Amino acid sequence: MNKDRTIAWIGGGTQVKHMVDAAYELGIRFSNPTCTCLGFLGAMLGGGITRSQGLYGQGVDQILRLTVVTASGETLQVDATHNPGLWYAMRGAAPKFGILTAALVRAYPIPKAQNIAWEGAITFADDELEPLIQAIHDLDLRPQMEIDFLFATSGPPLNTPAITAIPFFLGNASEARKAFAPVLAVGPISDETAEVPYDHWGDFANSFSQKGMRKPAYGASLARQGFNPATWRAVYEEFKKFVARYPEAAGSSVLAEYYSTQRAVAISDTGSSYPFRDVPIHVVTIPVYENSSFDETANAFGARVRDLLRSTDGLDTNST
């Protein structure tokens, strides 16, 4: 790191968890992905959606310089001045142009005691789905805010389908509860939100990072109007039918992530090849199962959910 702790060199294979743990102890934070099992630079250079992007911009905006090995074996320093064409291309489509061995990235100094966010699972009854979707749609999603929305099950032996929201706020609980008041007013069954230190922000996503099982992922991206209550009711009914009929796939889920795009849009998109800065909602449907003989059924389910979501995505073109 530099003396001011605002810039760090990151190795090409660095895992998010290792970065976050070290950063927290040093009194800094990065604008990093939620899932700590990921490689940091791979996720960032694909565009890089993060829960703090409302304040800091997207992942590609965190990169200041790249060290790249080309197909010919040449090592290049790549930034806005050196190899600018490659600089544009790699920030959005990096794997197509070379092997990344290191990067210079932005860091944000913040004392440990202030390096917190308010987050946690809030569970809702089935008949609260439409009011919840409408409340999320109507949120004034400020730069400090992000919210995930999840269909999953309670796990064995009952595998009961559940509707969960996971709000995130860069600040204290009092400010957060005011910001997310419309969602809280729907009336959750349970509320596990709390102030959480930076090195534990990604804990709730650990279940998505378990090794093993087959997990074909079907993505869909949405404009704000993609939070359509009727569409999401249809998706939920499809999900319930799937896990009820196939208990071997009870670990499956449908996860939506709604991001603030103010900062990302304010930064010119002419400097990188990532094209979807103004798209706020990203959804992934993940059938989870063990036997390859189930592939066809799982893929059919993922495709059905994706088609439902895209039917009201509010976008002119596919922006996944």
Q: Which residue is associated with the tokens 């987050």? A: 119
| Least-confidence region, from 86-100, 252-266, 305-319 | 86-100
pTM (global) more than 0.75: yes
Percent of the chain with pLDDT over 90: 90
Q: What is the mean pLDDT of residues 162-185?
A: 98
Q: What is the mean pLDDT of residues 290-302?
A: 98
64: alpha, beta or left? (left if phi > 0; alpha if psi -120 to 50): alpha
Q: Of all residues in the chain, what percent are helix, strand and coil, respectively (each to 5)? A: 40, 25, 35
Q: What is the mean pLDDT of residues 193-213?
A: 89
The pLDDT, as a whole number, for residue 204 is 84
150: alpha, beta or left? (left if phi > 0; alpha if psi -120 to 50): beta
* 129, 233 Cβ separation under 8 angstroms: yes
Q: Quick one: pLDDT band at residue 211, thresholds 50, 70, 90?
A: confident
Element (H, E) at 149: strand 145-153
Three-state DSSP class for 47? coil
Q: Residues 6 or more apart from 124 whose CB is under 8 A from it?
A: 132, 163, 164, 165, 186, 187, 188, 189
d(CA 120, CA 113): 19
Q: Quick one: pLDDT band at residue 320, thresholds 50, 70, 90?
A: confident
Three-state DSSP class for 131? helix
Both tokens assigned to 48: 């890089």
Give strand pairing partners of 7. Answer: 106
* 175, 116 Cβ separation under 8 angstroms: no
**Chain-wide mean pLDDT for the chain?**
95
The pLDDT, as a whole number, for residue 269 is 67
Give strand pairing partners of 78. Answer: 66
Both tokens assigned to 271: 């400097």
Nearest partner of 48 among 37, 65, 36, 34, judged by Cα? 34
Q: What does residue 45 show for φ and ψ, rounded to 5 degrees?
A: -80, -10
* 180, 166 Cβ separation under 8 angstroms: no
* 188, 121 Cβ separation under 8 angstroms: no
**Residue pLDDT, tens place only, 128-171:** 999 999 999 999 999 999 999 999 999 888 999 999 999 999 99
The pLDDT, as a whole number, for residue 61 is 95
Nearest partner of 32 among 55, 53, 4, judged by Cα? 53
**Residue pLDDT, tens place only, 235-291:** 999 999 999 999 999 999 999 999 999 999 898 767 899 999 999 999 999 999 999
Q: Residues 6 or more apart from 251 whose CB is under 8 A from it?
A: 153, 155, 213, 288, 289
Three-state DSSP class for 140? coil
The pLDDT, as a whole number, for residue 205 is 84
